[in-house]
Structure 1
């Protein structure tokens, strides 16, 4: 007997006319989904800000959620973690181990973050762990969990991969929950986090993206949803406090499970939202996390039964390493940064933008120089990296594209990418549905603005490690890979 949840979903599926059997649709592709808990313990450092905060409890669990696609000899995996970002050190370790255990090539495995600010600040602990240096037992044990949790999710998804019907399309988020947070001022400058009541504000400096990209993974016999990949461009910083939380994607998960049963795996990939957040500049009241997540969840659950199945599920995976030009960190800049960080650490007042600049200069110092001007670990926690230390003038990042047939493409980009760059990829993509997942494999870029944004300045530009034009390089690489996949799939 089907559960009540499954029966409702199945009847809805039949009524829309999209129930299919394996004879009606291409089920050569096999898909597996899985999730693993990666919630840190109480007392582990929390991410999101420029001072140490130790967690006091849990609101809702943090998870690593994986999907594995297999068709013939081709395989790909995407594992999305409830983390603020994916350090290159972490992605390399997860991909290496997962590849050994599953046989999926490491370059075909993507590790992405949702960007929750109520998630762990783990980079110093990971740095110490990989260097086999001493640290607190609680912190060392969590790093082991943080590495092996996502690996286990990929393993489980790979093991339970089975024939599936894929349905794709998009929903439109009509209830306003996302707003461009950069504003053009009357003096020609650009400022972040403004109110429209400020008479110096002229207009928003950019657009938003109201599309929710969707990919449903359905059982070919019953038509029930085993997993749902959803994608929306909205910054995750809506909870606050000192307890672990996955932020609004948790409420998307609840909405999907209420509608389609408790076993459906909800995999949310954050879209290009480097300049997008939840603060409505026309209102002093901010939308709360449950309102945002439930509103997005409703948009998704209303649209899912209407999605048509893919007739062609030919799987292709392509990746390209892009060398993004880094900003510099001179000896004088590093020396000044150390002084600013020492003042802030001792409770003194420092200008916010100077604090941000000082922190990023310390990150750049260790990445650019084989002999850094400072002993970085004495001054920062976030941004420490073993695999990137001494890299030089450019930062190597992966752009990965996973496509199915001629209908859907999943684009995975590093860093916090401006919405304009994501929209440019979608506009030029040869695939009807293009899902863009930022914060994939590498977070050390920090923000990735479009070229024009550097002229305007403000927070996101200040907090970027890469030079102008880097965002456009990612767009070019993504479109090249999408076009190659479309050509190959058309030929097949």
Structure 2
């Protein structure tokens, strides 16, 4: 199994929206309140010459990518007897079968229970497909077999780097960063569905100030959550 050298890895990892998961460790009893954290960036690009790519609504392929183009950013946190792991993977969508395989391998390597492991995707539209019928594409069979061991390796490496740490988080309103992309169509401008019937009452990304839409389909959650993990010396492990 090929992994990146430690000296080549950046210490800064990016992760947002996981404060609730980390609170499992942060809220442990006072007698067991020492927090340990480890982080690792695992290359999940592979050296394939051609792969099916997700997210184009029609099946397409791309050629060989460069090492480091796709990563799994992995965290492991421990407080007392509780250990959790989180892997944020550069992928469009990851099916349960692939996640479960990665969790099983990671659990065998680290002892972390599979139910304490969270795996999520960044939803990039430039990564190989691991999920059938995902936005118009089928899974690439070679990459689907390749990815789970790589995710597990990243969690294993993060687990091996556990050290005393501190964590903090906050939420701010960021209305300029989030907008509703799904707009309601005027009744007289409804569009046709794949069966040729005019049933489409909403559309993503309407034209700027298009007269064919009456407004956004709902309110926007503009909360931006920021979480920071540092060593006890204040060195960043992840933001």
CA deviations 1:118-177 (Å, max 9, x no partner) are 1111346xxxxxxxxxxxxxx766444311111011111111111101111134435x34
- Would the alpha carbon gap of residues 58 and 212 (structure 1) be closer, same or farther in structure 2, given more than 3 Å must change? farther
For residues 145 and 186 of structure 1, what CA distance do their matches in structure 2 show?
46
For residues 42 and 122 of structure 2, what CA distance do their matches in structure 1 show?
15
Q: Does 2:97 match 1:89?
A: yes
1:396-415 to 2 correspondence within 5 Å? none
For residues 213 and 54 of structure 2, what CA distance do their matches in structure 1 show?
31
DSSP 3-state at the match of 1:148: helix
Q: Does 2:37 match 1:31?
A: yes
Aligned to 1:187: 187
Aligned to 1:213: 225
For residues 119 and 179 of structure 2, what CA distance do their matches in structure 1 show?
27
- Give ranges in structure 2 of 5+ residues lacking alignment: 1-11, 13-31, 133-139, 189-200
Q: CA deviation at 1:207?
A: 2.3
Q: Does 2:121 match 1:110?
A: no
- Would the alpha carbon gap of residues 192 and 123 (structure 1) be closer, same or farther in structure 2, given more than 3 Å must change? closer
- Would the alpha carbon gap of residues 163 and 27 (structure 1) be closer, same or farther in structure 2, given more than 3 Å must change? farther
Q: Do 2:77 and 2:162's aligned partners in 1 also have CA atoms closer than 8 Å?
A: yes
Q: Do 2:177 and 2:222's aligned partners in 1 also have CA atoms closer than 8 Å?
A: no
Q: Does 2:51 match 1:51?
A: no
CA deviations 1:395-431 (Å, max 9, x no partner) are xxxxxxxxxxxxxxxxxxxxxxxxxxxxxxxxxxxxx
DSSP 3-state at the match of 1:165: strand
Aligned to 1:161: 162
For residues 180 and 238 of structure 2, what CA distance do their matches in structure 1 show?
30
Aligned to 2:237: 226
- Would the alpha carbon gap of residues 49 and 102 (structure 1) be closer, same or farther in structure 2, given more than 3 Å must change? same
1:66-77 to 2 correspondence within 5 Å? 66-77=74-85
1:290-329 to 2 correspondence within 5 Å? none
Q: CA deviation at 1:93?
A: 0.4
Q: Does 2:213 match 1:201?
A: yes
For residues 57 and 202 of structure 2, what CA distance do their matches in structure 1 show?
23
What's the TM-score once normalised by structure 2's chain length? 0.70
Q: CA deviation at 1:39?
A: 0.9
- Give ranges in structure 1 of 5+ residues lacking alignment: 1-5, 7-25, 125-138, 229-492
1:231-270 to 2 correspondence within 5 Å? none
Q: CA RMSD in A?
A: 2.6
- Would the alpha carbon gap of residues 64 and 180 (structure 1) be closer, same or farther in structure 2, given more than 3 Å must change? same
Q: Do 1:27 and 1:163's aligned partners in 2 also have CA atoms closer than 8 Å?
A: no
What is the number of residues matched between the two proteins?
A: 189
For residues 150 and 156 of structure 1, what CA distance do their matches in structure 2 show?
10
For residues 203 and 142 of structure 2, what CA distance do their matches in structure 1 show?
42
Aligned to 2:17: none
For residues 43 and 186 of structure 2, what CA distance do their matches in structure 1 show?
48
Q: Do 2:72 and 2:87's aligned partners in 1 also have CA atoms closer than 8 Å?
A: yes
DSSP 3-state at the match of 1:180: coil
Q: Do 2:94 and 2:131's aligned partners in 1 also have CA atoms closer than 8 Å?
A: no
Q: Do 1:65 and 1:81's aligned partners in 2 also have CA atoms closer than 8 Å?
A: yes
1:329-478 to 2 correspondence within 5 Å? none
DSSP 3-state at the match of 2:101: helix
DSSP 3-state at the match of 2:94: coil
What's the TM-score once normalised by structure 1's chain length? 0.36
